[in-house]
Amino acid sequence: MDNQTTTQNSPERETEQLKQNQHLITSFQILKKLHTPLSYAQCASHKHELIICGGKNERICYSYHTLKNEYKHICNYPIDVILDGHCVVKLVDNRNKDSNQTTLLSFGGKYKHTLVTKYVSVCRVRVVIGGSNNNLLFITYRSNNISVFDLNTFQFIKNDALLTSDYIDYHCFVSNSENRQWQEMAKKNKQKYQMLLFKYT
Residue 182 confidence (pLDDT) above 60: no
- H-helix or E-strand spanning residue 130: strand 125-130
**pTM (2 d.p.):** 0.53
How far, in Å, CA of 17 to CA of 174, rounded?
Answer: 58
Q: Are 140 and 125 in contact (CB under 8 A)?
A: yes
Q: Are 147 and 153 in contact (CB under 8 A)?
A: no
Residue 165 confidence (pLDDT) above 80: no
Tens-place pLDDT, residues 26-56 = 556 677 888 788 888 888 888 888 888 988 8
Which residues touch 199 (CB under 8 Å, ≥6 apart)?
166, 168, 171, 172
Cis peptide before 165 (omega within 30 of 0): no
Q: How far is CA 166 from CA 5, 49, 128, 174, in A?
A: 72, 25, 20, 18
Confidence of residue 8 (pLDDT cuts 50, 70, 90): low
Query: What length does the chain have?
Result: 201
How far, in Å, CA of 193 to CA of 179, rounded?
Answer: 11
Tens-place pLDDT, residues 98-139 = 667 788 889 888 888 888 888 877 667 777 887 777 788 888
